[in-house]
Structure 1
Amino acid sequence: MVRAEPPEPEPDDLPRLLLWRLRSNPLRRRADAAQGWIAVGLAAGVLAAVPVVTVLAGKAAHRHYEERARHQAATRHAVPAVLLRDAPRHPEPGSDEAAKALYTVQVRFTDPRGHLRTGRADVPPSLPAGSTVPVWLDAGGEPTGPPLTPEQVRNHSLGCALVAALSVPLGGAAVYRVAGRRIERRNLAGWDTAWARTAPGWTISP
């Protein structure tokens, strides 16, 4: 048995299909038109807001991370530390992964007050015990990470801008969903009211 398939819509029909709520027809309700215009307004608002929000968020994030990098550079400093044990060997020596790998080992260093202390530091693989590596300390002499680099500042800023850009259409979709649900509840309430007026005429008295 051959089943007839509906014809594929022509390219010129797609805009009308997408905006069917705005087309004039006897079955269109005010709620349909309102929901259609809400969709059009939100789409226009999202398209206009995305570049603005992206730029503003990116600039604000860049200022924030630049200030953090300056603060870290002013309050952190590196001191030499000695490995207390051999760093683990990488399973693939000489590979690109090995060149980027770091292993956490115990080290000994002297804090700004002159006290000999031990801590943990991330070091390249295969370093033997007794090797000297730099360890970053904060203002209180506690081990910490190095200050943010310009590349890290740029990457963090781009990440914040991307998140802000994605949040705009997600917010628009959430608003449209909430509006759609409210319109649907209003339609259902209207149908209940209309049926309450119509039902008596359809009821057959015994």
Structure 2
Amino acid sequence: MSGEIPPAQPPPVPDPQQQHVHPVPWWRWRRNPLRRRTDQLQAWIALGLLLAVPLVGAAAMIVIGEAAYRHYRATSEHQAKSRHHTTAVLLHDAPQHLEPGSDEARATRYPAEVRYTDPTGRIRTGRTDVPPGLPADSTVRVWVGEEGKITEPPMTSQEIRSRSMGWSALALLSVAVTGVTAYGATILILRRRNFAAWDAQWAQTAPRWTRSP
């Protein structure tokens, strides 16, 4: 039909045997008549992110890791000053393990009710984990917080290092994900721009190929 512009068709796939195919990662850097400005821009953005992500990630690991280490170290010191290590008495027999004497039994702990004295001298009762089979009136060591309740022991140096390393790894992962997301968004924007330019150029070229009846 006269005046109707046919839909744009994708370019034919070149035959690898008829031309020398350059490696995919480098074709945007080589001069050729089919290379667009957006192709070169995409290559520069990819190179920039490839260089920036490791550097920013390493810096983030150091900064976040040191900040987390200082935070957990201060928390551990506060816990050591504010928590009291005292002796508690078991009020009831602890449950027996199904396999007494086994490695699993030695590692297993059961919650049991105990009686203890808080830092103010008040007698309290609470629950803590004890080995299986421990008889009533046995003594166990517990940590008591500022409010007089049984709590966890202060963080150890190993726990401080482990948590700090976890935050460092999370910082590196966040930078990597941000870089990948930025690159994906850039490709999407450039691809839409290419399609729009392609449609505009085809609208100018197609009428010259259209034949009137």
In the superposition, the TM-score normalised over structure 1's length comes to: 0.81
Q: Higher mean Cα deviation, 150-159 or 86-95?
A: 86-95
Residues 1:110 and 2:117 aligned together: yes
Aligned-partner Cα distance in 2 for 1:94–1:168 = 49
Tell me, yes or no, if the aligned pair for 1:22 and 1:37 is still in contact at 8 Å: no
Q: Offset at 1:116?
A: 3.3
Among 168, 179, 201, the residue aligned to 1:194: 201
Q: CA deviation at 1:69?
A: 0.3
User: Which among 144, 148, 152 is matched to residue 151 of structure 2?
Assistant: 144
Larger relative contact order (C-alpha < 8 A, sep ≥ 6)? Answer: 2
Specify the SS of the correspondent of 2:85. Answer: strand
Q: Deviations over 1:92-118 (max 9, x none)?
A: 444444433322222222333444332
Change (3 A) 1:198 1:113: same
- Does 1:132 pair with 2:132? no
CA drift at 1:202: 4.4
SS in structure 1 of the partner of residue 33 of structure 2: coil
- Change in CA separation of 1:112 and 1:23 when aligned onto 2, cut-off 3 Å: same
- The CA deviation at 1:137 is 1.8
Match of 1:63 in 2: 70
Secondary structure at the counterpart of residue 19 of structure 1 = helix
1:122 aligns with 2:129: yes
Where does residue 10 of structure 1 map in the other structure? none
Contact kept in structure 1, 2:84 and 2:119, CA below 8 Å: no
Kindly indicate whether residue 165 of structure 2 is the aligned counterpart of residue 158 of structure 1: yes
User: After superposition, where does 1:20-35 map in structure 2 within 5 Å?
Assistant: 20-35=27-42
3-state SS, counterpart of residue 133 of structure 2: coil
Q: What is the percentage of aligned positions where both structures have the same residue?
A: 49
Distance 1:103 1:24 in 2: 72
| Shift in Å, 1:204 | 4.8
Label 1:46 to 1:205 Cα distance change in 2 as closer, same or farther (>3 A): same
Residues 38 and 176 of structure 1 are in contact (CA less than 8 Å); yes or no, is this contact kept in structure 2?
Answer: yes
Cα distance in 2 between the residues matched to 1:56 and 1:178: 27
Name the CA shift for 1:69/1:28 in 2 (closer, same or farther; >3 Å). Answer: same
Q: Alignment partner of 2:34: what SS?
A: coil
CA distance in 1, matches of 2:96, 2:30: 70
Structure 2, unaligned runs of 5 or more? 1-15
Shift of 1:81: 1.9
Q: Which stretch has the larger CA shift, 192-201 or 121-130?
A: 192-201
Number of residue pairs the alignment of both structures matches = 195
* Structure 1 SS opposite 2:92: coil
Q: Which residue of the partner structure matches residue 26 of structure 2?
A: 19
- 1:3 matched to which residue of 2? none
1:158 shift after superposition: 1.4
Distance apart, 1:64 and its partner CA: 0.6
Given residue 171 of structure 1, which amino acid in structure 2 is its aligned partner? T
Structure 1 vs Structure 2 CA RMSD? 2.6
Q: Flag structure 1 segments of 5+ consecutive residues without an equivalent.
A: 1-5, 8-12
Once the two structures are TM-superposed, the CA of residue 120 in structure 1 deviates from its matched residue by 1.5
